Structure 1
Amino acid sequence: MSDSNRTDFTNPSTFILLGIPGLEAAHVWISIPFCTMYIIVILGNFTILFIIVKMEPNIHEPMYYFLCMLAVTDLLISTSTVPKMLSIFWFNSREISFSACLTQMYFIHSFSAMESGILVAMAFDRYVAICHPLRHSAILTISVVAKIGLALVLRGGILALPYPFLARRWPYCRTNIIPHFYCRHIAVVKLACADIRISSYYGLFNLFFVSGMDVFFITMSYTQILWAIFRLPTKDARLKTFGTCISHLCAILALYTPDFFSSLTQRFGHNVPLHLRILFASVYLMVPPMLHPIIYGARTKQIRGRLLQLLTHKET
């Protein structure tokens, strides 16, 4: 293995994922919270899907369609990384083929863009529901929601294509060791012995322009929502209306805060220890998919009621 760690090659047949460098001795212990979070992700998001699809099949509100999209995306993004991470922590299975590494890179960025876009769609749904309640069903029809969902899938898929395409064209002539537990784009291209500025610039473009534009549209939606809420006649009406937005606001903070922090520390946080940067990246990948079903399960009346029915086995 020592010969393959440092040799001359244009494209390596395999990469070696180190997991969390500096904390190898604690990998088994670190795996416990990650495995627990992954179990919560699977159980929580499948429960959301089961309640909406099976127990509430007559629900035709756009929010529930978007919530189903979010649950599926959360399951896919976590499944793209966690099984391989746990195999590293438990079985020291560090090798990943070059093609599998690029495929993982593509799916992670694709699903991340879809997740961000779904939160924008949910913010638009809240805007229409609060600012134009009488036109909500006319504006967000099932057909429109389906087109939005298709557009989000296409956007995520197209935006993620340059990541593996650019990573594949660079020569890797120094090492094939990735100091990470998954094939993060910037961690892979940093191994190339070439000028990788175009890859770095594209990553920053996605961070500031794509994610930044998503945050901008969400902010604009909630500016209009808050303006409409403050114009309501009574305090109770204002609190009740704002309460319908709390779960979505929590989901937004859970996604974008670690996303921006992790991306910026990977590029500019040279004084931040490597193991902390990797742990920040894991927060971005694991915490939002884990929190979303908890947030929406606790804050959405229909889902909360059906969940209690599931747990108590009582007929309503």
Structure 2
Amino acid sequence: MSESNFTNFTNPTTFILLGIPGLEAAHVWISIPFCAMYAIAVLGNFTILFIVKREPSLHRPMFYFLCMLAITDLVLSTSTVPKMLSNFWFNSREISFSACLTQMYFIHSFFVMESGIFVAMAFDRYVAICDPLRYSTTLTYAVVAKIGLAVVLRGSMIILPYPFLVRQRPYCRTNIMPHSYCEYIAVVKLACGDISVSSYYGLFVLFCVRGLDMIFISVSYTQILRTIFSLPTKDARLKTLGTCSSHFCAILSFYIPALFSSLTHRFGHNVPLHFHVLIANVYLLVPPMLNPIIYGVRTKQIQDRLLWLFTHKGT
């Protein structure tokens, strides 16, 4: 590495993304599943958007929230994977300081938005199962639009300090980042001086945003399960439980890798660096790939529309 990467500077013009440190020789092989997951995510989420748009019977709050989720997943994966693949395939490691801050902002703000969408979907299932007679009057188009706007504003505003906290710090050590994309804590760790404010704000976002969202979802599903198990017949319980099983699976695929990655990044000092980076990639790639598959397999209305499209094309 050149000495220029270690000279003193206050605002670096570029960062050097190492990809997955320690696994550079395997970058080409690692890129194959990453590229496949990205292709599935793009195809699956665009299919969800296309089906909901074309099918009037799906113009309901549950599917509007699903479309919000699909758009968020597309932005999340597209913010990271193209640059990551260019690094793996063409050794294109440089990213400008401004582009790095932009990527970081989009990743974290849309991650918070996705968490908010899961809360909205949990509320949708709560009203549908626990208070079905008021479903159409509670979740009107105006209410759904307001919830969507609130989700977007919350994600945009709560992550807004990230680029300012990063930009105000001097960078006098190195501009080499042992990561495959501009993750907030990875960038903060390159700064000189006291980074406690940046670190504490990251923890605030982790626990007070994602943590509160998980609490709201847990409370909703506690009430949902109480209602389900109070139904008189087993068939009714299973049928009602099936209406929220896809949402529950999507929640697990989203929160578990993200929470594990955030905690190991801050507290897992003995965990190998390449494992940190791999987990950080997994929590941005796996949910966008799995969500359309989960909803496509578990949601009968989407299944029926997909089958109709294929049979209609075949005739």
Same fold (TM over 0.5): yes
Does residue 20 of structure 2 align to residue 20 of structure 1?
yes
Question: 1:86-165 to 2 correspondence within 5 Å?
Answer: 86-165=85-164
- Matched with 2:38 is 38
Question: Structure 1 CA distance, aligned partners of 2:227 and 2:313?
Answer: 39
The secondary structure found in structure 1 opposite 2:181 is coil
Aligned positions, number: 315
- Matched with 1:191 is 190
C-alpha deviation, 1:3, in angstroms: 2.6
Q: Output one character per residue of 1:11-45: Cα deviation in whole Å (capped at 9) or x when no partner.
A: 10000000001000110000000000000000000
Partner AA of 1:51 in structure 2: I
Q: Output one character per residue of 1:144-195: Cα deviation in whole Å (capped at 9) or x when no partner.
A: 0000000000000001111111000000001000000000000001011110
Partner AA of 1:226 in structure 2: L
Q: Output one character per residue of 1:204-252: Cα deviation in whole Å (capped at 9) or x when no partner.
A: 1111111000000000000000010111000110010001110000000
C-alpha deviation, 1:313, in angstroms: 3.1
Question: Structure 1 CA distance, aligned partners of 2:57 and 2:248?
Answer: 26
The secondary structure found in structure 2 opposite 1:123 is helix
Partner AA of 2:9 in structure 1: F
- Matched with 1:204 is 203
The secondary structure found in structure 2 opposite 1:270 is coil
Partner AA of 1:43 in structure 2: L
C-alpha deviation, 1:4, in angstroms: 2.4
- Matched with 2:258 is 259
Question: Structure 1 CA distance, aligned partners of 2:276 and 2:149?
Answer: 34
The secondary structure found in structure 2 opposite 1:81 is helix
Question: Structure 1 CA distance, aligned partners of 2:21 and 2:4?
Answer: 18
Distance 1:308 1:58, change over 3 A: closer
Partner AA of 1:152 in structure 2: V
Does residue 273 of structure 2 align to residue 274 of structure 1?
yes
C-alpha deviation, 1:2, in angstroms: 0.5
Identical-residue share of aligned pairs (%):
76
The secondary structure found in structure 1 opposite 2:166 is helix
Question: Structure 1 CA distance, aligned partners of 2:202 and 2:190?
Answer: 16
- Matched with 2:288 is 289
Does residue 304 of structure 2 align to residue 305 of structure 1?
yes
Partner AA of 1:301 in structure 2: K
Contact 2:100–2:182 (CA under 8 A) maintained in structure 1: yes
Contact 2:264–2:271 (CA under 8 A) maintained in structure 1: yes
- Matched with 1:179 is 178
Question: Structure 2 CA distance, aligned partners of 1:216 and 1:236?
Answer: 29
Partner AA of 1:5 in structure 2: N
Question: Structure 2 CA distance, aligned partners of 1:310 and 1:28?
Answer: 36
Distance 1:14 1:314, change over 3 A: closer
- Matched with 1:240 is 239
The secondary structure found in structure 1 opposite 2:58 is coil
Question: Structure 2 CA distance, aligned partners of 1:128 and 1:6?
Answer: 57
C-alpha deviation, 1:315, in angstroms: 8.6
> Displaced runs of 4+ in structure 1, greater than 6 A?
none
Partner AA of 2:87 in structure 1: I
Please give the TM-score of this superposition, normalised by the length of structure 2: 0.98
Please give the TM-score of this superposition, normalised by the length of structure 1: 0.98
- Matched with 2:80 is 81
The secondary structure found in structure 2 opposite 1:313 is helix
Question: Structure 2 CA distance, aligned partners of 1:137 and 1:314?
Answer: 34
Contact 2:130–2:227 (CA under 8 A) maintained in structure 1: yes
Contact 2:123–2:220 (CA under 8 A) maintained in structure 1: yes
C-alpha deviation, 1:61, in angstroms: 1.5
Question: Structure 2 CA distance, aligned partners of 1:51 and 1:96?
Answer: 37
Provide the aligned C-alpha RMSD in A.
1.2
Residue segments in structure 1 that go unaligned for 5+ positions in a row = none
The secondary structure found in structure 2 opposite 1:15 is strand
Contact 2:128–2:135 (CA under 8 A) maintained in structure 1: yes
Contact 1:309–1:315 (CA under 8 A) maintained in structure 2: no
Residue segments in structure 2 that go unaligned for 5+ positions in a row = none
Question: Structure 2 CA distance, aligned partners of 1:168 and 1:147?
Answer: 33
Question: Structure 1 CA distance, aligned partners of 2:111 and 2:208?
Answer: 14
Contact 2:58–2:301 (CA under 8 A) maintained in structure 1: no
